Every structure is written in C-alpha cells, then in structure tokens.
Structure 1
Amino acid sequence: MASDWRDECRGGISGWKTLQGVERIARQPAWGYNASMKKMIITATLLAFSGLAQAGNFATCLLDELPGVQNNNAAGAAYQVCSARYPKRYAGVDQGSGRGFFGYESGAECALKHARDTKSLDAAGMIRVACNRLYDKPIGLFDDLKQSQN
C-alpha cells in the first residue's frame, strides 16, 4: 500500500503543524492578493482607460450626434443641442485633444469613419471640423516658420 501525506505526518505533532502551514500557504495566491490590492487594480485600470471615456466637449458631442444624419435640418438641430450643452463650443476644445493611444492619427481619418454614411453635407462638414479640432496636431508658433522655409 502506498503511503500518502497523512502517513508521513503521523510521526509527531511537529510534522502535522508543518504540513498545515504548507497547506495554508498553498491556498494563498503567490502575490498576496487582498482587498486593498483589488482596489489598487481597479483604480489603475480606470486610470489607464480614462482616455476612452473622455470628458464630453462640443466636438465629441457633434461626433456622437451627427453621423448618419440624412438632412440639413437634423444637422442644424444637432448643432443646437451640442451648443446648448457646451456653450463655449470649439473654444472649450483644445486642438489635438483627442489624440492618444486609442485615437485617430489625423482629422481626415476620423472624418472618413464618421462622415462616410452621412448624407447631409452640413453634417459631414461639421463632422470634418470636429475631427480636425480633436485629432489634427496643434501647430505651434515656430512650426509655421519651419514650413514656410521648406
């Protein structure tokens, strides 16, 4: 008959206590997971993906409301709704503020995706302006001079 772990522990109480300690350690995760660690993981995850859930602004409101709009009247209504929500309009949107790891490379790439199925020319134009504001790189004071010298 093959011996199991119980046979090895019958030799004395010290062996039994050692085995109980080994079992207790084996049941715990290797990296010491506890409630505070769980909170830290959740907080880090939320911070990492906070760029995905951007705080709303005028440009993102337009990108939410305008794609697929069929006529200019609906486009004008969407503009009014977003203007009421964000009275500063584009003044409240920093140039290039949508750029980031999960954003578009340029305003043109954004406009292509969002305006593709939009029949209203007004809506498509507003989408292009919003995308340019969010995803085109800001041009600095000296960038204009560098471009004119080339």
Structure 2
Amino acid sequence: MRIKQTVLFLFLFAHLTAMADEAIDSLNDLRWEYRLIIGNIGDNDDVSKFQKQWQSKQGELVDRKLVLILIAPDGLQTMGLKQSIETDDGIRDEIIQKLKGKQVALIGLDGGVKSRYGLKDFYFASVFGQIDQMPMRVNELRSRSK
C-alpha cells in the first residue's frame, strides 16, 4: 500500500512539474487549472492601472486561481501564470473572440465566459463576489472548512 502511494505521488509530482514547464498555445490549455481575467486594453496607462490593482490583491487572486492575460500595446502580458505563452497570435485571436467587443472578461475553470465588462465597469470586488458564488468555488470553500 505504501509503495502504491509513493508511486502515485511521484507520478503526480512529475506530471505537475512537466505541466508547469509547458508553454501554452491556447486558452484551453489553462482549462480546469485557472480562472482567467482576459482583456484587450489599448492604452499603456490603463494597463498600468490594471496591473497595480492586480498586484494589490495577490492573496485573493491566488486563492481564487485567477490569472491575468492582457492584450496591451506592447504585446501580450500575463500575471499569475506559471507557464509561458507559445505564440501571441493564437491567444490574441481567442481573447478578441471571447471579449465580443468588451474590454475585459472573466473565464471560469470550465473555459466558459462568465461575464464581459467595459474597462470602466470592471471591479475586482464584484468579480470576486461572482466567483465566490460559482459552484466549483463553493465546493472549494466547503472542502477547506471540513
């Protein structure tokens, strides 16, 4: 029994280590691992403000498995993502398609778009509230309290 547990642990560790080193080439590669905040922000000042807000909320973001992927004037920018992005073009096209004319969107663990926002309508507090009501998040919180 002990050997099986050790083998299982080593297998999972090797798998997770390999995943951390893999480059992603699609938002689907992040499915079931992260919730995403994606955006297309055309002004460097707005990008900077967004990143400062992001940095000030690190604990809450990590707790909710959130990653930021932005299309910025200087190229694709990420925060909280362990993997590197293989190609900007594919991810950029996916982001634009999912935004459907808005500037920011919340993507759930299942890869589905949960909400879209204009930049001026986006508030981390409301996103956190929305996430905390999602069934998977409710289960995460329940399992912690046991």
* Structure 1 and Structure 2 fold alike (TM over 0.5): no
Please, what TM-score do these two structures have when normalized by structure 1? 0.25
More strand by share: 2
**Structure whose alpha-carbon radius of gyration is higher:** 1
Flag the structure with more relative contact order, 1 or 2, with Cα contacts below 8 A and sequence separation at least 6.
2
